[in-house]
Structure 1
Amino acid sequence: MKVHNVEMIMSAVRPEQYPEEGYPEFALAGRSNVGKSSFINKMIGRKSLARTSSKPGKTQTLNFYKIEEQLFFVDVPGYGYAKVSKSSREAWGKFIQQYMTEREHLRAVIQIVDLRHPPTADDCTMYDFLVHYQIPTIVIATKADKIPRGKWEKHKKIVRETLEMRSEDPLLIFSSEKGIGVEEAWKEIESRM
């Protein structure tokens, strides 16, 4: 997809605040510092529409990015960040769960993991949640540029096995630094619209 028009249209925490256009939505889930904002920025060809932060845990709402008047990327708060109060984490947990399990426009969750390391317990918990609610999932293994290309398959296998991935869920290699995987990710998204 060639992206020319994109805007961050709202932050929401309750269903009545969600956009009403009815476009397909793709939620982005991942640990707080795994590179969700970098993924969004690379996919839409912008430097800093999604704010990247040196402080993990910055996103505390569902942020809706409208792309080409055709779909939304929905950035959800990162998980697994210890410096956020327990009550904040619980509140996030509730509205994320409500969004992901009840939103009829949600086509898939894009779960972002770090290719360099086996998925964490939090990554596994998130994936198990998606499987439990039968939510289609696209797993993006990012930071591929930090690993020699010859080792990608080995690292992909570790991700697949650690998450115990369903066979129908794709696992794509990605690098926002080098632009690896952008076309493949768009193909996967467009096939679900």
Structure 2
Amino acid sequence: MPTNPLQGAEFVLAAHRVNQLPADEGAEVAFAGRSNAGKSSALNALTGQKGLARTSKTPGRTQQMVAFSLPVVVRGETSQPVETRLIDLPGYGYAKVPDALRDHWRHEIDKYLHVRRSLRGVVLIVDIRHPLKEFDRMMLDFCLGTLLPCHVLMTKADKLSRNQAGQALATLRKDLGASSAITMQVFSASDGTGVDEARAAVMTLLEGDVRADVDIGRHW
């Protein structure tokens, strides 16, 4: 396995609806977060490709579900090798878009989380400088309620001192309590803080067990 197991990620397609995504087989990890939390920058840093995910000074540029294939292969339910993917979910809560499109994103993200059997876990992007937002808490509650593993990247840690970043991490751990379903770390795409740790976390998610069926009737 190469030093960076996520290197070589390639764009596959951008989907407006869940049923337009690649076939629901193999293993995938979804990246979620508010539009201004640094999700695209995190994806680029983790894959080692500056232009893989679009970054912009204008939050909300990711307006579809974007699928990226990965070169790594993990084991499936039958111990046979399966293909792996990253799914970049639309940034939520900040973009200046029509209400109808915002509602569409919310519905499709909810549907995606409930129905995708290949989904092995979520990487939730949050800005370390700010408290958790409503969307962040809904995502964490969903993961806890369905035992879907979630790894929280507290981004933009370079904007704080090391002591401040450590305190923010400790505060979040205390806030969320002990749960095997939720892990978290300090991260910065700008200076590389936590990048190797985050790559390992993504691989752990991809190699995790196939998720149990969830209550599809439970919506946000």
TM-score normalised per structure 2: 0.80
Secondary structure class of the residue paired with 1:8: strand
Q: Which residue is 1:115 aligned to? A: 128
4+ runs deviating over 4 angstroms? none
Q: Which residue is 2:165 aligned to? A: 152
- In 2, are the aligned partners of 1:6 and 1:67 still within 8 Å (CA)? yes
Q: Cα gap change, 1:3/1:91 in structure 2, threshold over 3 Å: closer, same or farther?
A: closer
- C-alpha displacement of 1:166: 4.8
Query: Does residue 167 of structure 1 match 2:179?
Result: yes
Return 5+ residue gaps in structure 2 as ranges. 74-83, 208-220
- In 2, are the aligned partners of 1:57 and 1:81 still within 8 Å (CA)? yes
- In 2, are the aligned partners of 1:138 and 1:170 still within 8 Å (CA)? yes
Cα deviation code 1:122-177 (max 9, x no counterpart): 32233223333332211110111111112222101222344x35521111111101
TM-score normalised per structure 1: 0.90
Secondary structure class of the residue paired with 1:170: strand
Q: Which residue is 1:52 aligned to? A: 55
Return 5+ residue gaps in structure 1 as ranges. none
Q: Sequence identity, in percent? A: 38
- In 2, are the aligned partners of 1:29 and 1:109 still within 8 Å (CA)? yes
Amino acid at match of 1:46: Q
Give 1:136's match in structure 2, choosing from 136, 149, 153: 149
Amino acid at match of 2:179: S
- In 2, are the aligned partners of 1:7 and 1:65 still within 8 Å (CA)? yes
- In 1, are the aligned partners of 2:24 and 2:117 still within 8 Å (CA)? no
Query: Does residue 102 of structure 1 match 2:120?
Result: no
In the alignment, the residues of structure 1 paired with residue 98 and residue 7 of structure 2 have an alpha-carbon distance, to the nearest angstrom, of: 38
Query: Does residue 74 of structure 1 match 2:87?
Result: yes
- In 2, are the aligned partners of 1:24 and 1:105 still within 8 Å (CA)? yes
Greater Cα radius of gyration, structure 1 or 2: 2
- In 1, are the aligned partners of 2:24 and 2:118 still within 8 Å (CA)? no
- In 2, are the aligned partners of 1:28 and 1:76 still within 8 Å (CA)? yes
In the alignment, the residues of structure 2 paired with residue 181 and residue 131 of structure 1 have an alpha-carbon distance, to the nearest angstrom, of: 24
- In 2, are the aligned partners of 1:101 and 1:133 still within 8 Å (CA)? no
Amino acid at match of 2:16: V
* Number of equivalences: 192
Secondary structure class of the residue paired with 1:25: strand
Amino acid at match of 1:178: D
- C-alpha displacement of 1:101: 1.0
- Compare 96-105 and 117-126 and name the one that shifted more: 117-126
Q: Which residue is 1:180 aligned to? A: 193
Query: Does residue 191 of structure 1 match 2:194?
Result: no
RMSD value, Cα: 1.9
- C-alpha displacement of 1:68: 1.1
In the alignment, the residues of structure 2 paired with residue 21 and residue 105 of structure 1 have an alpha-carbon distance, to the nearest angstrom, of: 6
Q: Cα gap change, 1:126/1:10 in structure 2, threshold over 3 Å: closer, same or farther?
A: same
